[in-house]
Structure 1
Amino acid sequence: MRSPFHLVEMSPWPVFSSVGAVCVVVSLVNWFAGGSPWFVLCAVSVVMFVLFQWWRDIVRESDQGWHTSYVASNIRLGMVLFIGSEAFLFFSFFWAFFSCSLVPGVEVGGVWPPVGIIPVNPFGLPLLNTAVLLGSGVSVTWAHHAVMAGCRKEAVSALFVTVVMGLYFSFLQVCEYLECSFSVADSVYGSLFYVMTGFHGVHVLVGTVALFVGLLRCFGYGFSSSRHLGLEASIWYWHFVDVVWICLFLCVYWWGG
């Protein structure tokens, strides 16, 4: 009797993705220490290539019928656990932020923001970024309902709008970093600000890439009203990114500033 569970074949992509992730971290540290940014670009290119190959294999498995209802249920559970682990990652960042801001030490002047730090105006680019990301949450929900209703053209249009908004958000965040009056080396405030917003920015880029893959698959008739698990997982991830940004805007930009 055929098993309802898919036993995956040996794949080199987990090993290559681990090597690529290590190279990204090492190249970033080297860049921050005054090294060349080309190493960063090469490392990121390796990670993107591995992601493309890995997602290609998963799409092929789905097209071949290996993603049964049992497999799909486990994939959904895995995505929920992954988003939960990401939530705890950001929870640790917020814990550090409130630990330092509620009881500021003498090292930062006993006040928050620390002495000498001019925080970012929350009603400038951060507010615009909030509007952009919330708008992308609306458009991606529109795409989800369009796919479930079998309206492919509407789904493609909504996903395209979401991807554009994701790229626009990343562009605005780069502009914000260029205008900041402080750096990651300026006390614990600068470290926490850039780590929290930077990690969120990386999550936005990953979510944008995932939704772009979903857009290509939807454009090529890769989804149906009953089988669109890859797109559904990307939409869950994008909503998580939206929620984290709202917390960042309220706590770091508005209250913390």
Structure 2
Amino acid sequence: MDTPSAYYQPPPSRWPIVGSLALLALASGFVLFLAKSNAGPYLMAAGGLLLIAMLAGWFGAVIRESLAGKLEGQVDGSFRWGMVWFIFSEVMFFAGFFGALFYARVISVPELADAQLLWPGYAGGWPTAGPGIKEAFTPMPGSGIPAVNTLILLSSGVTVTWAHWGLQSGRRWQIILGLALTILLGATFLGLQAHEYMEAAFSIRTGIYGATFFMLTGFHGLHVTLGAIMLSVILGRVLAGHFSADSHFGFEAAAWYWHFVDVVWLMLFVFVYWL
């Protein structure tokens, strides 16, 4: 069963139950935190540490299996399809928020203005800030930080592709430099987005515009953070000599995810900032 064409079946693992306990501790700690219990933050911290240990242990086991040549052939194909469906689920996740933005802006706000169901004199302008604000306020402009961040993420897509070319060509220095530049660009993007949040004249409570703006950009920032962590792990594996030109799906999966993050940002820039 260890031949490359066979489907490898891993041995029983303790990591799923460890992950379940970690999530239970995180959720329970959050509930206690909302209840203003002193034990809440400590339980959340314990759950977070346990979750990190689970991720390191579980992914470490998968990496060792890969280095042993057990994850080739049909298993490799399963991994690729798994990543495809994972990214598709993320596409649907963001589609829900883009759909909410479209519905609010194009359908809900005009209909509420026509029916005068909210408050007298509601004009239905966009963006709307919620009760008491009759006129539209100035939204976040597309120029400035959003435009710079667009250039940064597009550049990061180039650097991660350049790193992939280096891996396929056996140029180790190119892989390392390309990944390092991609991670640095991602960190710069997050820093600029944090600055944008601090300078914003509205919050997530500022009506439907504030809610959709911060939900879309905030979750995208979370995905950039996750992508940067994935690429950092891949960089560490490159330094350890784990990949070859013929076997590097871990690298490809992280690169796919990063390109997905780039595409989502382009849609955000057009529909949230520009339009």
The equivalent of 1:145 in structure 2 is 165
The equivalent of 2:66 in structure 1 is 62
1:80-119 → structure 2 map (5 Å cutoff): 80-103=84-107, 104=109, 105-106=112-113, 107=118, 109-115=123-129, 116=133, 117-119=137-139
Q: How many residue pairs align between the two structures?
A: 255
1:123-202 → structure 2 map (5 Å cutoff): 123-202=143-222
- Worse-matched range after superposition: 187-196 or 112-121: 112-121
- Worse-matched range after superposition: 105-114 or 124-133: 105-114
SS across alignment from 2:70: coil
Structure 2 length-normalised TM: 0.83
- Contact 2:170–2:244 (Cα < 8 Å) also in 1: yes
The equivalent of 1:49 in structure 2 is 53
SS across alignment from 1:95: helix
TM superposition shift of 1:34 = 9.1
Give unmatched runs, 5+ long, in structure 2: none
* In structure 2, C-alpha distance between the alignment counterparts of 1:197 and 1:174, rounded to whole Å: 11
What's the % identity of the aligned pairs? 37
- Worse-matched range after superposition: 14-23 or 209-218: 14-23
CA distance 1:18–1:172, change in 2 (3 Å): farther
Residues 169-196 of structure 1: CA deviation (Å, up to 9, x unaligned): 1111111111111111121111111111
Task: Pick from 53, 65, 74 the counterpart of residue 78 of structure 2.
Answer: 74
CA distance 1:204–1:49, change in 2 (3 Å): farther
The equivalent of 1:205 in structure 2 is 225
TM superposition shift of 1:25 = 6.6
Structure 1 length-normalised TM: 0.88
- Worse-matched range after superposition: 97-106 or 209-218: 97-106
Residues 33-66 of structure 1: CA deviation (Å, up to 9, x unaligned): 9999966766554443332222211111101111
Amino acid at match of 2:141: N
- Worse-matched range after superposition: 145-154 or 42-51: 42-51
Give unmatched runs, 5+ long, in structure 1: none
SS across alignment from 2:204: coil
CA distance 1:20–1:138, change in 2 (3 Å): farther
- Contact 1:118–1:182 (Cα < 8 Å) also in 2: no
Query: Cα RMSD over matched residues?
Result: 2.7
